[in-house]
Amino acid sequence: MKHERSSELFELSKKYIPGGVNSPVRAFRAVGCDPVFIDHGKGDRVFDVDGNEYIDYVTSWGPLILGHANEMVLEAVSKAAAKGLTFGAPTGVEYEVAELITEMIPSIEKIRMVNSGTEAVMSAIRVARGYTGRDYIVKFIGCYHGHSDGLLVKAGSGAMTESKPDSAGVPSGYAEYTLLADYNDLDSVQKLFDEYKDKIAAVVVEPVAANMGVVPPLPGFLEGLRRITEENDALLIFDEVITGFRLAAGGAQQLYGIQADITTLGKIIGGGMPVGAYGGRKEIMDKVAPTGSVYQAGTLSGNPVAMTAGLTTLRTLKDNPGIYERLEAKGAKLEAAYKAKFGDRACVNRVGSIMSAFFTPEKVIDYDTAVTSNTEAFGRYFRYMLENGIYIAPSQFEAMFMSDALTDEDVDRTIEVLNGYEL
């Protein structure tokens, strides 16, 4: 494949945009090549500015569960945009989305719309602190909850790719009240609650870690977090920005049968438009202004175009449970092919329509095992797949995302390309 125009745009972009990109992992630094610049997408395909065509397993990092340029979503967005792009005032579609989300995720009784997953988690933690009157929170090493100052401590996602789990520019005081535990290790959580008794407001966790690659919860882990938080009058925050409505119509909470006190959402609830949300039990959410003393606001929160895209997407998922059955079947087929190809040279983790192949013989269950991966080997694999028309995440520590637009023929094509890779 030729990438002249992408390379040209990358050089031009670096003159005006830090690193030439607006989110670090897009720079492809971890995989040893320049990024491709996308021109358009349709269904399960994206097309770059040089005219190259790819089967897409990034899907804009997860929100496009129905595929690119879904006709129902585009039609709804077009009608909404024709009425006006933003008003900074309440609209009826906000109520419709809120009602639908509370129906699909029963632990959410009230919800507040924001503009990103970062904003959602930041706000959820503020509410947890305001509700409990406590300052400390517990997060897990390798889990990424956005780039707010207090959470950029041993984070995952691009922070792992860059080997910089902590960010410059964050005063030590911001992270002082963030306590670190090991994912899938309940003892590490219990020790923190013993040491900081009656001081911890909440535990925040990705119910399926997906920002150090896909790392499922071990049996009993989520149940243990629920028990520990209840015993200590702390809140359990599920960061379902990725897993929400992707693993099931009710997200990870439906899949694992665990209810959180506060849930953060993003990606799919915007149907491809920028969006985030946080919600939970009524008595917790009533602490949020204007009914309570926890302040949070946003000019574009509940933007009618984003809400319309999300409403159309969520209704489609709710009314078509077969989508999840199809995604599971395609995911299982790909998982089997990857395991057959790499054997004990890689650990393949999958939950539903998200999957990662870690280039390590270790069983990946946490941050320490994830970072045993051979990132150079991953880079070689990535470049081979890209040159053969398969677009996957340009980082060992990200997930492959499948959409319902992914055809059986394209799954077969992906497996054919994979099997041609020389180990």
174 noted as active-site residue: no
Query: Which residue in 93, 55, 163 sits closest to 402, CA to CA?
Result: 55
Q: What are φ and ψ of residue 151, in 5° steps? A: -110, -5
pLDDT at 337: 98
Catalytic residue from among 48, 131, 256, 267: 267
Assigned domain for 198 exists: yes
C-alpha–C-alpha distance, residues 271 and 75, integer Å? 12
Q: Are residues 211 and 278 in the same domain?
A: yes
Q: Are residues 143 and 14 in the same domain?
A: no
pLDDT at 329: 98
C-alpha–C-alpha distance, residues 299 and 114, integer Å? 9
Residue range 167-182: mean pLDDT, rounded: 83
Whether pLDDT at 405 is above 90: yes
Whether pLDDT at 172 is above 80: no
Q: Are residues 16 and 110 in the same domain?
A: no
Lowest average pLDDT, out of 78-87, 164-173, 369-378, goes to: 164-173
Catalytic residue from among 44, 56, 185, 239: 239
Whether pLDDT at 339 is above 80: yes
- β partners of residue 47: 40, 53
Strands of the sheet containing 354-358, edge to edge, are 347-351, 354-358, 400-401
Query: Which residue in 230, 245, 263, 240 sits closest to 124, CA to CA?
Result: 263
Assigned domain for 65 exists: no
144 noted as active-site residue: yes
Q: Are residues 168 and 212 in the same domain?
A: yes
Q: Are residues 330 and 307 in the same domain?
A: no
CATH number at residue 181: 3.40.640.10
pLDDT at 154: 64
Domain that residue 377 falls in: 4-57+321-419
Picking from 319, 351, 374, the residue at the C-terminal end of a domain is 319
Residues 6+ apart with CB under 8 A from 241: 117, 120, 121, 146, 264, 265, 266, 267, 276
pLDDT at 159: 44
Assigned domain for 62 exists: no
On whether the CB atoms of residues 62 and 35 are closer than 8 A, the answer is: no
Q: Are residues 373 and 231 in the same domain?
A: no
When pLDDT is cut at 50, 70 and 90, the band that residue 164 belongs to is: very low
Whether pLDDT at 160 is above 60: no
Residue range 130-137: mean pLDDT, rounded: 97
Q: What are φ and ψ of residue 227, in 5° steps? A: -65, -50
Catalytic residue from among 54, 144, 256, 324: 144
Assigned domain for 63 exists: no
C-alpha–C-alpha distance, residues 314 and 325, integer Å? 16
Tens of pLDDT, residues 244-265: 999 999 999 999 999 999 999 9
Residue range 293-309: mean pLDDT, rounded: 96
Dihedral over alpha carbons 147, 151, 153, 154 (to 10 degrees)? -80
Q: What is the mean pLDDT of the chain?
A: 95
When pLDDT is cut at 50, 70 and 90, the band that residue 161 belongs to is: very low
Token pair listed for 191:
């020790």
Whether pLDDT at 80 is above 60: yes
pLDDT at 132: 98
Tens of pLDDT, residues 30-43: 999 999 999 999 99
Q: Are residues 126 and 48 in the same domain?
A: no
User: How many domains are contained in the chain?
Assistant: 2
Assigned domain for 145 exists: yes
Residue range 203-211: mean pLDDT, rounded: 97
Token pair listed for 274:
């920028």
Assigned domain for 29 exists: yes
CATH number at residue 372: 3.90.1150.10
Q: Are residues 43 and 130 in the same domain?
A: no
Q: Are residues 314 and 364 in the same domain?
A: no
C-alpha–C-alpha distance, residues 95 and 84, integer Å? 18
Picking from 319, 340, 358, the residue at the C-terminal end of a domain is 319
When pLDDT is cut at 50, 70 and 90, the band that residue 165 belongs to is: very low
Residue range 296-316: mean pLDDT, rounded: 97
324 noted as active-site residue: no
Residue range 378-400: mean pLDDT, rounded: 97
C-alpha–C-alpha distance, residues 235 and 226, integer Å? 9
**pLDDT over 90, % of the chain:** 92
When pLDDT is cut at 50, 70 and 90, the band that residue 155 belongs to is: low
Does the model's pTM come out above 0.85?
yes
Q: Are residues 279 and 383 in the same domain?
A: no
Assigned domain for 194 exists: yes
Q: What angle do CA 70, 72, 74 make, to 5 degrees?
A: 65
Assigned domain for 375 exists: yes
Whether pLDDT at 157 is above 70: no
pLDDT at 166: 60
Q: Are residues 113 and 225 in the same domain?
A: yes
pLDDT at 89: 96
Residue range 139-162: mean pLDDT, rounded: 71
Residue range 307-328: mean pLDDT, rounded: 98
Picking from 319, 345, 363, the residue at the C-terminal end of a domain is 319
Q: Are residues 310 and 355 in the same domain?
A: no
When pLDDT is cut at 50, 70 and 90, the band that residue 176 belongs to is: confident
